[in-house]
Structure 1
C-alpha cells in the first residue's frame, strides 16, 4: 500500500472547524481536536455512501439517520462503525493529510 502526503493548505485558510475539504475529489471534514491535533473524516457514510453533514454538534447521514462523533468519527448508532479517518500533520504552517493513497 502506498502512503501519500497531500497538502490541504495553509492553516490560516481554515477559520472554522469542522471545515469541508476535497482530497482528489472525495469530500472530507477537517476536524481539530485536543491540543490542536487535526484529522480528516470522510464525508461519506460507511453504510450507504450518503453525504455526511455537520449539524453543529455531530455528523449526520440523512439516508438512514446514522450519527457520528465530531472528533473521532465513531458511529453513535452502530457499534464498530466509523467514518474513514486520515491523519493530518501541521508543518511550517501547512496542513498535510497523511495516509494510504487517496
Structure 2
C-alpha cells in the first residue's frame, strides 16, 4: 500500500461490521460500502444534482430533495446514468482501512 496515496486511516475493519457506515472524512460526509467485487469504497453523502444529504434505503441511496437514487454499492446514479456519487478508494492493510487522498 502506498501511504502517500492512502493516507487517511479509517481504523480497523472490525469497526465496520454493518454497512453502509456513515463516516466523516476531512469534514465531509461519506458512506463506507463494499462494491460487488468486495472492495471497500467511500461514497460521498452529498447529491451531485442538488447538494442534498444522500441517505441509505434498502440497497440504494437516495436524495430527498429531488429523489435521485444511486446504486448502493458503486454510487452510480440510477436516475441519470451520466452522474454518480463522488468517491474515494479504500485499501485494506493489516486489517485496517485507509482512504485515498484523491476524490473521484
| Shared fold, TM over 0.5 | yes
SS in 1 for 2:7: strand
1:80 corresponds in structure 2 to 82
Question: Displacement of 1:87 after TM fit?
Answer: 0.4
Q: CA RMSD in A?
A: 1.7
Instruction: Give the aligned length.
Output: 100
1:54 corresponds in structure 2 to 56
Residues 1:4 and 1:57: Cα distance change in structure 2 (over 3 Å): closer
Residues 1:4 and 1:95: Cα distance change in structure 2 (over 3 Å): closer
Aligned-partner Cα distance in 2 for 1:3–1:48: 30
Query: Which runs of 5 or more structure 2 residues have no equivalent in the other structure?
Result: none
SS in 2 for 1:51: coil
Describe the superposition over 1:64-99 as per-residue Cα deviations: whole angstroms up to 9, x where unpaired. 000000111011011210000110000011100013
Task: Please point out which of 20, 31, 50 is paired with 1:18.
Answer: 20
Aligned-partner Cα distance in 2 for 1:55–1:12: 23
**Is contact 2:36–2:73 with CA below 8 Å preserved after alignment?**
no
1:99 corresponds in structure 2 to 101
Q: What TM-score, normalized by structure 2, do the two folds share? A: 0.88
1:6 corresponds in structure 2 to 8
Q: What TM-score, normalized by structure 1, do the two folds share? A: 0.90
